[in-house]
A and B are shown apart, each in its own frame.
Chain A
Amino acid sequence: MASRSMFLRILWKLLGASRGRLTVALIALTSGAAICSALLNVNLDAERKLTQEFRTLGANVVIAPPAAGSEASLADAAVLDRIAELHIPQIAAMAPYLYVAANSGSQPVILAGTWFDQLARMNSWWKLEGGLVSSRADHEHCLVGFNAARQLGLAPGSLVQLRSGDRTISLTVAGIVTTGAAEDNQILTNLDSAQTLAGLSGRVTVAQLSVSGTTAEIESVTRQLANALPELDVRPVRQIAAAQGTILGRIQGLIFWTIALILILSMLGVLASMAALAMERRSDVGLMKALGGTVPRIMRLFLAEAGALGALGGIFGFLFGVVLARWIGQRIFGVVISARLEVLPITIALTIAVALAGAFPLRLLGRVRPAEILRGE
């Protein structure tokens, strides 16, 4: 007990004696730990945050009749009610589409009937000129794709008359959308209006769903839908799921290597301070050996000092890292990343390991020959 108390007494004095050099080492450790803690917090949340981000990039599950595209394979619009009745929480948005080949004057154009309220939720990245149609019941307005608008000479506020066979409808252009996809060549309107023009009441071509969750969760929802809708094809959009997996993998790889690099840089910072400290401590070690101190017992003091420094750096670093993670979360993901307590022991353990590795010069003090030191060499 007395020995332990003396050990702590010497340790305390050691920490106080070299405040300057130890502060430099502590700053290196805290900086490294802060970045590690922030990245680990981000990493733990990255999959969830990125999944949320991906959900804003449009539908990732498509439901269609086995041979979609022909009139014979149109689905019943009631399929959407059947999906809603499943109460699957991961379904963030769901929109039916009925595609109708129509004419505006002599120009052919594709009319897509859908639910405007769901469209906005699934495609938040669309660029819009003019106004948005947000009501599913709006039968008077339409959105026109950028290319279609140019081809037909339409602008917000224009009136467009569409004809399919002997049926016609008139719509006011609310806005021009740029999507970078097929919608750029289409006119988007209310589902009922499209069904009326096509004479296909209660029919849809496809249903698009935005399902939140990991790749595995999306596949699970897909299986659940396929079981509930055996007469239809339920397909995940593979490219999006694959891209999500690839990006997540790359981000996690980037985080891992950044943490490794930061820890190495921190260790080099500690190493520089400890090398200078080791030179200062040579005579103390020589004396301690002369007084009968064994190398393990002397080294235990110095390694405990480095370990204490590492633990302190880890705690400070974790706290700074939480703040940094919040900042990264808000700047990059637009959300608050909450502190994950499981990151604390990981950060402390990593920082202690870095401090002990950086204390390598102190270990070399074990080789000091007391006779040389005491002679003043």
Chain B
Amino acid sequence: MAPVVQVDQLGKQFGEVRALDRVSFDVEAGEWIAIMGPSGSGKTTLINILGGLDHPTAGRVVVDGLEIGTLGERELTRYRADKIGFVFQQFHLVSYLTALENVMLAQYFHSITDEKEAAAALDRVGLADRLDHVPAELSGGEQQRVAIARALINHPKVILADEPTGNLDEANELVVLKLLHELHEAGHTILVVTHSQAIGNLADRRVELEHGRLARISVPSLAKE
């Protein structure tokens, strides 16, 4: 079976700055990949290209059979709605919509809304009693759980998470890690950008970047066990 994500000689240049330089790796369906590296190593650029938010300037990226470097704006938009579930460090919830509506917003842009399904997704992340709360009424951890429910609602092929615990305290970090672990157990393909060794250790593999280049791909000891 072909890998769900294929990154081949990927390059990205911002003017004179080479953010990514000949990066190659594959991700199998159901894998949990931690993308690690120091600040400025190209982690977020990589995740943006994988998510169809940015265009590569060299190489190719294939996600679920689609070479995303060849897609136009409209096709990229469709690609994001169909194939990708995003989780951001800053949560990025719409402030004037309730938790339920934030999840339904992803449904709305994907196809049709289903309030019961959105409520079930929030129930799955432990927020059944917070459906009608706006983000300002939720804790950071709860907001991130809403974002995870939103990322899952359209059954994406790949979940891309950029520092999902970066803005959380330790207790909430554990809750989110547990959720990611459960998603992995359920067979979701997850790519997480992180500085956290704890998350890196939970992943199946670690893709480590340095100065935009692939430094190494390693298997954490926990995964080996």
Contact = CB atoms under 8 A, between A and B. Distances in A.
Interface residues of A, number: 28
Contacts of A287: 92, 94
Given A2-B112, A290-B53, A292-B77, A376 B96 contact: no
Given A6-B104, A10-B105, A371-B53, A376 B77 contact: no
A283 B104 CA distance: 18
Interface string A1-43: 0110111011001101100000000000000000000000000
B105 A288 contact: yes
Contacts of B94: 284, 287
B189 to A, nearest CB: 18
Contact of B90 (A6, A14, A376): A376
Interface stretch (B78-86, B138-146, B171-179, B216-224): B78-86
B92 A294 contact: no
A291 B78 CA distance: 9
Interface string B54-83: 100000000000000000001001101110
Contacts of A291: 80-81, 86, 105-106, 109-110, 150
A221 B81 CA distance: 74
Interface in B104-136: 104-110, 112-114
A297 interface: yes
B37 interface: no
Given A287-B92, A374-B88, A10 B77 contact: no
B48 interface: yes
Contact of A10 (B53, B97, B106, B162): B97
Nearest to B162: A374
Contacts of B78: 292
Contacts of B108: 3, 6-7, 10
A375 interface: yes
A297 B77 CA distance: 11
A369 B101 CA distance: 23
Nearest to B111: A3
Interface size class of B (residues with CB under 8 A): 20 to 34
A6 B113 contact: yes
Contacts of A288: 105, 109
A139 interface: no
A14 B113 CA distance: 18
Contacts of A370: 53
Contacts of B92: 283, 287, 290, 374
Q: Which of B78, B113, B114 has the most A CB atoms < 10 Å from its CB?
A: B113
Contact of A16 (B81, B82, B96): B96
Contacts of B95: 17
A57 B224 CA distance: 106
A290 B78 CA distance: 10
Given A14-B96, A289-B80, A290-B51, 18 more contacts: A6-B105, A17-B95, A284-B94, A287-B92, A290-B53, A291-B81, A291-B105, A291-B110, A292-B80, A292-B110, A292-B154, A293-B77, A293-B81, A293-B109, A294-B74, A374-B48, A374-B53, A376-B90
Interface of A: 2-3, 5-7, 9-10, 13-14, 16-17, 283-284, 287-294, 297, 369-371, 374-376
29 contacts: A2-B113, A2-B114, A3-B108, A6-B105, A6-B107, A6-B108, A6-B113, A10-B97, A10-B101, A10-B108, A13-B96, A14-B96, A16-B96, A283-B92, A284-B94, A287-B94, A288-B109, A290-B92, A291-B80, A291-B81, A291-B86, A291-B110, A293-B77, A293-B81, A294-B77, A370-B53, A371-B54, A374-B53, A374-B162
